[in-house]
Amino acid sequence: MRRLLPGLFLLLPALAHQATTYGEEGAGGNLTRVAVFTAVFLVALFATAWIGLRQAKKRGGREVLWAVFPTVVVAVVGAMVGAAIWSYKPVGGAALALELTAQRYWWGLAYPELGMKSAGEGWIPVGARVEIRARSQDLFYSLSVPGLELTMDAVPGQTTRAWVQAKKPGVYGGVQTEYVGPATDKMRLRLLALPSERFQALITAVQNFTPPEPPEVFLSRCAACHTVRGTKAQGTLGPDLTLFALRTTFGSGVWPNREAFLRPWIQNAPGMKPGVKMPAFPDLSEAELKALLAYLKRLGPEGLDFTDLIRVEEP
Ligand code: HEC
């Protein structure tokens, strides 16, 4: 039996897997699991060391040191980890929640308290604590927004939480860092941090905005996948386009929101982003294309312009 005890360590990785998986309750719950894992690990370790010590004593050799030294090291490290876990408090108290949904190959954004949706690009108030809740619809994704000191995973079936606070106005760019397929590098995120008056003005304008009715060609070719709030277009496979004209970029933060890039996108999105779920529309007439481009330009309240914050470089 004693000889078998060290074998128990082989079971520990199973627990360790638990400890690195985020829970619905956020990082706090995750830390509880880390604490349980650490406790079980330490108990098992001390038990083995103790048995080893007794055996060494019986034989009376200098091997005792081999057991004492690592035990002291582990005890000290364990105490430090324990103290850190004990002092952890979830941040909480966020002024605003922003939900991110990762999917092939774009980030959906939703502001649950404001009823506002976007894709690839969103807005946050400078200085306020924003709670980011990330989910995934299909694969395992990972997001890094270096300017906001944010790295988080988006995992199917769970919500991961993190808190960010932008110190200065500007654009905070994020990248998706997990390999998820041929368009891994074309799944970016842009958060525009606005001074709070400007953020408030945006919210008010968005709430008073009534999107125009889509043209016939949009209803027949695009509405199955795209929503425009308050209209017959209610598809959910692709991004919500209600505020499309407010975005400085499209395609999950990749291309500047300008006709020169939008036109080829509508004609052949998979040609620009391999693996995308939006089909190519090579058969659209020039008049239909014009109607679609003109409609997209009208999606968003007028008089808001964020281009001063951002210098969009051509890819
Ligand atoms: C089968 C579903 C589907 C159909 C039909 C479809 N789209 Fe899309 N569309 C998508 C998906 C999915 C994306 C997200 C692509 C990405 O960024 O990875 C998208 C992205 C877009 C974007 C960029 C949105 C953003 O915020 O980045 C625009 C604009 C767009 N589509 C316009 C259209 C137009 C116009 C039509 C009709 C001619 C259309 N789509 C038809 C699925 C669809």
Domain residue limits, the chain:
5-86, 96-297
User: Which residues is 107 bridged to in the sheet?
Assistant: 102
SS3 200: helix
Q: Within a 10 A sphere around the Cβ of 233, how many other Cβ atoms?
A: 21
Residues 6+ apart with CB under 8 A from 215: 291, 292, 295
Banded pLDDT at 277 (limits 50, 70, 90): very high
Which residue's CA is the closest to the ligand 1 atom numbered 14? 238
Q: Is 94 in the pocket of ligand 1 (CB under 6 A)?
A: no
CA of 247 relative to ligand 1 center, distance in Å: 14
CA of 223 relative to ligand 1 center, distance in Å: 10
Q: Is 222 in the pocket of ligand 1 (CB under 6 A)?
A: yes
Mutate to test the pocket of ligand 1, among 222, 272, 288 (most ligand atoms within 8 A of CB): 222
Tokens 């006709």 map to which residue?
Answer: 259
Q: Is 106 in the pocket of ligand 1 (CB under 6 A)?
A: yes
> Of 239 and 62, which is predicted with more confidence?
239
* pLDDT computed for residue 23 by the predictor: 44
- DSSP string across 20-79: TS-BTTBHHHHHHHHHHHHHHHHHHHHHHHHHHHHHHHHHT-TTHHHHHHHHHHHHHHHH
**Within 13 Å of residue 179, how many CA atoms lie on the same side as its CB?**
1
- H/E stretch holding 237 reads none
Strands 96-103 and 106-111: antiparallel
Alpha carbon of residue 51 to chain centroid: 47
User: Which residues is 122 bridged to in the sheet?
Assistant: 191
- H/E stretch holding 86 reads helix 64-86
User: Residues 154-174: pLDDT tens digits?
Assistant: 999 999 999 999 999 999 999
Percentage with pLDDT > 90 across the chain: 67
User: Residues 221-234: pLDDT tens digits?
Assistant: 999 999 999 999 99
Q: Does the pLDDT value for residue 311 go beyond 90?
A: no
pTM for this structure? Answer: 0.76
**Within 13 Å of residue 7, how many CA atoms lie on the same side as its CB?**
5
Buried b (16+ CB within 10 A) or exposed e, 55-89: ebeeeeeeeeeebeeebeeeeeebeeeeeeeeeee
Q: Does domain 96-297 have CATH number 2.60.40.420?
A: yes
* pLDDT computed for residue 259 by the predictor: 97
User: Residues 279-308: pLDDT tens digits?
Assistant: 999 999 999 999 999 999 999 999 888 878
Q: Is 162 in the pocket of ligand 1 (CB under 6 A)?
A: no
User: Residues 30-56: pLDDT tens digits?
Assistant: 566 677 877 888 888 888 878 877 877
CA of 238 relative to ligand 1 center, distance in Å: 5
Q: Does the pLDDT value for residue 192 go beyond 90?
A: yes
Structure tokens at 315: 């890819």
CA of 239 relative to ligand 1 center, distance in Å: 7
- Interatomic CA distance for residues 315 and 116, integer angstroms: 28
CA of 257 relative to ligand 1 center, distance in Å: 13
> Of 28 and 265, which is predicted with more confidence?
265
Choose among 44, 309, 285, 114: nearest CA to 198: 309
Q: Does the pLDDT value for residue 19 go beyond 50?
A: no
Q: Is 102 in the pocket of ligand 1 (CB under 6 A)?
A: no
Task: Give the ligand 1 atom nearest the CA of 250.
Answer: 27
CA of 44 relative to ligand 1 center, distance in Å: 54
Give the Cα-Cα-Cα angle 250, 251, 252 (nearest 5 degrees): 90
Dihedral angle over CA of 155, 156, 157, 159, nearest 10: 30
Q: H helices within 184-301, ranges in order?
A: 196-208, 216-221, 259-272, 286-297
* pLDDT computed for residue 38 by the predictor: 79
Contact 255, 271 (CB under 8 A): no
